[in-house]
């Protein structure tokens, strides 16, 4: 498997576990039965950091929907290595940074991490289209 597919797989796995922190907080705030129950407006609210973790997870999923197909299209088109591999590695670290700084509530760094991830998406798209 090439570098970009390896890092895409790691990014998918990372995104797949981003739910764990906010569910653990839900166990603490609502108890086991409250967590397993159907969602309710009357439920105890989650910690602010857990709400941010949930938002960061959703944002990660929303952006993975764009990034993953781009990497797969590049791979199918034979556009591999170089810029695409670097973008896949960069995207992974940018999304990890985005999640961490979002959870800790650091807005300037959160935006910077998001933009780095977005730039990685543009780089892969540009490589597919022959811009780079």
DSSP state for residue 68 in the 8-state scheme: H
Locate 70 and state its tokens: 């781009």
- Residue 30's pLDDT band, with cuts at 50, 70 and 90, is confident
pLDDT tens digits for 9-19?
999 999 999 99
Q: Phi and psi for 25 in degrees, rounded to 5?
A: -65, -40
Which of 96, 91, 99 is CA-nearest to residue 116?
91
Region 70-82: what's the mean pLDDT? 96
Region 91-110: what's the mean pLDDT? 97
Report the alpha-carbon distance of residue 5 to residue 126 in Å, rounded.
18
Report the alpha-carbon distance of residue 86 to residue 59 in Å, rounded.
22
Region 99-123: what's the mean pLDDT? 97
């Amino acid at each position: 498997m090439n570098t970009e597919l390896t890092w895409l797989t790691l990014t998918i796995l990372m995104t797949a576990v981003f739910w764990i922190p906010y569910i653990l907080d839900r166990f603490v705030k609502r108890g086991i039965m409250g967590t397993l129950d159907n969602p309710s407006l009357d439920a105890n609210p989650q910690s602010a950091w857990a709400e941010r973790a949930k938002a960061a997870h959703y944002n990660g999923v929303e952006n993975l929907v764009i990034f993953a197909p781009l990497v797969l299209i590049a791979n199918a088109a034979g556009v591999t290595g170089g810029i695409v591999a670097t973008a896949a590695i960069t995207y992974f670290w940018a999304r990890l940074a985005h999640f961490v700084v979002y959870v800790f509530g650091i807005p300037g760094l959160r935006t910077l991490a998001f933009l780095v991830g977005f730039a990685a998406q543009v780089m892969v798209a540009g490589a597919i289209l022959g811009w780079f």
